[in-house]
Amino acid sequence: MKLHEAPSPNARRVHVFMAEKGVELERVAVDIRAGENIQNDYLAKNPAGRVPVLELDDGSFLSESVAICRYLEGLNPDPNLFGATPLEAATIEMWGRRAEINFMSNVAGAFRNITGFFKDRETPVKEWGEVCAEVAPKTLTMFDEQLDQTEYLAGAQFSIADITLGIALDFAEMVKVVTIPDLTNLNRWRAQIAERPSWGAS
């Protein structure tokens, strides 16, 4: 299998996931700044034009980073990062979606609309970016309150939900469009996941 990728929070999500599993894959760089991902050759791999994409050994392609992680989980069940019981799986899905919908999508909205990073291929609306930048930090209270009760987002077990929120926070800091508030439990948890050997995976 080969992972077609470009530096991005979604690629990093897969890298951390792979490191947790001890999985290694051949990598193929995609130049998204030059728009390689919106050319026909790439669109044949992923019609949504996004990275990363996993090329399977039969020549078919799987995209969407969470779908790629779920496939890798199916092939390498231990340690499980998507939950084992129905309630674990659902709780991890809930927190992963909250991390994406409430925080990560607002960070992405702020970044893309304030900086115009992809203005050659989409219409940025600065005012919307500013709304996203204002909303994103407020959504973190919910995670901080949960982390007052539990070690990781979905309970006692580190999961894909922690990876999603963690990489979104790191990305928000890197691109500097969103101010991360100082929240005790969130800080404790960030320090804890940053110590995992997987966290520096690239």
Closest CB 105 distance from its own copies, rounded Å: 7
Please check whether residue 174 is in contact with residue 180, taking contact to mean a CB–CB distance below 8 angstroms. no
* Residues of span 145-164 touching its own copies by CB under 8 A: 145-146
Three-state DSSP class for 153?
Answer: coil
Under the binding rule (CB under 8 A), the answer on residue 31 touching its own copies is no
**What's the closest the beta carbon of residue 17 comes to its own copies, in angstroms?**
13
Contact 177, 129 (CB under 8 A): yes
Nearest one of 43, 56, 59, 49 to 8, comparing CA atoms: 49
Contact call for residue 97 and its own copies (CB under 8 A)? yes
Helix intervals (H) in the chain: 9-21, 40-43, 65-75, 86-98, 105-115, 126-138, 140-149, 160-175, 184-194
The answer to whether 131 contacts its own copies (rule: CB under 8 A) is yes
Q: Is 40 in the site for its own copies (CB under 8 A)?
A: no
Where does this chain bind its own copies (CB under 8 A)? 47-48, 56, 62-64, 66-68, 70-71, 73-75, 85-87, 89-91, 93-94, 97-98, 101-102, 105, 113, 122-123, 125, 127-128, 131, 134-135, 139, 141-142, 145-146
